[in-house]
Structure 1
């Protein structure tokens, strides 16, 4: 038997498709706050219950900024290079988030829906022209968010393939040597710096041009370093890698739950609800990330997290908590009560959540309308999964229709 404070190696196992390690379910029942040890960094507490995870993510008694001064839990040396907004506390976090959030208002995202649908429909046309088997990751899933965010920022079309390579390298855990990851990060930051300089010489109306204008007119609100950092991490990487992974994840989940795919094809009005359920059900990150440090003693049931101790909140586990979600391990596109935290919670709630929702809705709507007979070309076992990445997802997923 495991004692209450025995330190477990973490992550508990290597990612297996979209399967959530059963250890989380046992911990929610037997030891909701447990001790874990990443390959690097100091031991940490791991919260697995929904309400506890929300507390860790939102309670001001926990700090992300303090992690910069500590040997924070991680899988790589200096894993997060610079966490950007994710690594800040109030008031700096609120100051910068307010500025960057202007790019992702509900109104602005809705104005982008028609262009996004045009991009998705164009990719669907390519599917029809090429015929099956059709590889969905490189030829469909990646181009959607890369094109959308690149058009928002005004990134030249010729630079977008390289942009994708840099982005993927920066979310690697073991797929690339650390030195190569660091090189890619420096190249990406340098590239964004050149775009910023170009916008300063030749102002534009795109999002990057607007951010440069704001920075130059009110320099104390956004430094040059902050501008490049947030465009790189907060917009480009976050805006491409997660959605590019979720599109094939959604497809895999639906095609391996055929009844849910057919339900969605028969009832396209369920698409918005389906997106929320898939975000809840899919454990996108293969482990909890971004430890928060207690600024004072905080009580979780019969466990006291002492001031200065790090705590990780498992969003994937929280989204399977049976105290909140009925039959939580079942994928149910008709689920009505779904207060998932798949886009985070609290001050660090995902800035691009509305954009991601809109992109994913557009993709599902197009695929179920134009390809209702879509299926795996090589069966479920023919899907090739990414290895050594911070986010799960197929590397290759071929389909027929």
Structure 2
């Protein structure tokens, strides 16, 4: 009988520094190793940059029709089908077909056209932050700015009306962190979210407008189009992937800059650096701890280790982005660092389709935030900040700040 692998701790570490330290300890033991998740599932965790990059593009490391989400033994088949038929859970040729169809609707022009709207949303949210904090009252920037910004942007992009967005946020937060919620809580949230998505699709079929759901409903390529399950799954993926991660990119980036005042001074003095600043923040403290799971379709040798067929493979993005074999002084934040190819958005065919939107939101949000509030500072000592227990997300529970 095979010996049980050790249980990993990074996913449930409560302190930001402790989480990175736990991943560093795992990486020090080797770039590829078999460990036990806190959920009781054994996986091959890949912490090395070169090894993770190889795994993410390896033809024998696949998704295997998806179905790796939380509580899938308990999720009704109809609900699973409405969530699983998307890009992130598909392999070629299905992935190739879906990516072609979705890319025809989710265009760079559509994303770039959002910039004026994003700036208006940012300015309005920061007006509220300024008013609430004008007498020095602490503001939870995650609740007041981090979450509302991407939720509003993705809702505008998809055509979700304002009155539906509060429930939308509650369902989405549970859906993306399903592994830390009881099965019944996750299923209830996912059922509500999929039910609403179906209603939204029906509305756009009857009365299309200039939004992404209408474009996804209408898109065709070579006579092909998205099925109903593919439509609900893609909207579900865009919501989940485009909301929580972007919120934590913005607030995790803010926390990182506030705890590195010399780097914050550089950003304020040279705002043209912001695109490069966002890339360094993604590398240093990205919003995704790991990729979504993969499986080996055949024995695969990576980093001097042979992973048998049928095993779960988990590239650890946080660890890979601090691999000293790839990045000089990786534990140091350096917004002047020469451009480097981090893995915060993944790699290979599953590289994040929404990366341009996340970068755009982060650049506008961080630039406006540090420019508008020169006295911005943490309202608590840095060691009192905590990160949420999560399988995927590397995100703070709150970000208390003083803006005056």
- Name the TM-score, length of structure 2 as normaliser: 0.89
Give the SS at the match of 1:395.
Answer: coil
Deviation track 1:32-65 (CA, whole Å, cap 9, x = no partner) reads 2111122446532221111110111111121112
| Matched-pair contact (CA < 8 Å) for 2:24–2:319 | yes
Query: What is the deviation of 1:102?
Result: 3.4
Alpha-carbon contact 2:61-2:294 (below 8 Å) kept: yes
| 1:123 maps to which of 121, 125, 141 | 125
1:300-327 deviations in whole A, cap 9, x for unaligned? 2432222323322111111011111000
Q: How does 1:1-400 map to 2 (within 5 A)?
A: 7-12=5-10, 14-19=12-17, 20-40=19-39, 42-65=41-64, 68=67, 76=71, 78=73, 81=80, 82-83=83-84, 84-130=86-132, 131=134, 132-133=136-137, 134-173=139-178, 175-214=180-219, 220-233=224-237, 235-286=238-289, 288-383=290-385, 385-388=387-390, 390-400=392-402
* Distance (Å, rounded) in 2 between the aligned partners of 1:104 and 1:372: 36
Deviates more, 1:123-132 or 1:199-208: 123-132
How far residue 96 of structure 1 moved from its aligned partner, in angstroms, is 0.9
Asked whether the 8 Å contact 2:105–2:219 carries over to 1, the reply is: no
When structure 1 is superposed on structure 2, of 269-278 and 41-50 the one drifting more is 41-50
SS in 1 for 2:33: strand
In terms of mean alpha carbon deviation, does 117-126 or 28-37 score higher? Answer: 28-37
**2 CA distance for matches of 1:49 and 1:93?**
26
Unaligned runs of at least 5 residues, structure 1:
none
- In structure 2, do the counterparts of structure 1 residues 97 and 78 end up closer, same or farther at CA, with 3 Å as the change threshold? farther
* Partners of 2:112 and 2:160 in 1: CA distance: 21
Distance in 1, Cα, partners of 2:324 & 2:74: 33
Shift of 1:398: 2.3
Count how many residue pairs are aligned between Structure 1 and Structure 2.
Answer: 391
Q: Is the 8 A contact 1:255 1:376 kept in 2?
A: yes
RMSD (Å), alpha carbons: 2.5
| Deviations 1:261-309, CA, capped at 9 Å, x for gaps | 12211111111111000111115334x3433222222222432222323
Deviation at residue 127 of structure 1 after TM alignment: 2.3
Which stretch has the larger CA shift, 239-248 or 102-111? Answer: 102-111
Q: TM-score, normalised by structure 1?
A: 0.89
Which runs of no fewer than 5 residues in structure 2 stay unpaired?
none
Per the TM alignment, residue 384 of structure 1 is displaced from its structure 2 partner at its CA by 5.3
